[in-house]
Amino acid sequence: MSEQYPTPQQAERERAGRDIATLVYLIQAISIFTAVPFFVGVIINYAKRGDVRGTLAESHFRWQIRTFWYSLVWAVVGWATVWILVGFVVWGVAWVWVIYRVIRGWLRLADGRPAYS
């Protein structure tokens, strides 16, 4: 039984994809304190998505993109309901959820595992 080893080009694609995903997790972590970098991170995800197709980073890009969009939806829901004070709860829960998503995704990437089980 022979093991298949990645070619140098495949190994480089994997490394580059992991580096970009790590950068976006860092950007998302910074975004916990100020939202502006969140947009930069998702732009990087969309711009580089084709480069990571078929690599471990592909699932992390999907995870990061979904984290962005769902958090944006919850931010809008919070804004729309802030006048009845429910919005503050929505924002708080969404904030904790983003922290969870960033930590979980980043740890799985560091372990060399896909974002989704």
Inside any domain, residue 53: yes
Q: Structurally, how many domains does the chain consist of? A: 1
pLDDT tens for residues 29-64? Answer: 999 998 899 999 999 999 999 999 999 999 999 999
What pTM did the predictor assign?
Answer: 0.91
The residues near 117 (Cβ < 8 Å, ≥ 6 apart) are none
Residue 48 is predicted with a pLDDT of: 97
Inside any domain, residue 87: yes
Q: Which residue has tokens 């939202």?
A: 35
Q: Which domain holds residue 23?
A: 8-110
Inside any domain, residue 86: yes
Q: What is the mean pLDDT of the chain?
A: 94
Residue 3 is predicted with a pLDDT of: 62
pLDDT beyond 80 at 109: yes
Residue 92 sits at φ, ψ, to 5 deg, of -65, -45
pLDDT beyond 60 at 1: no
Inside any domain, residue 1: no
Q: Say if CB 18 and CB 26 are below 8 A apart.
A: no
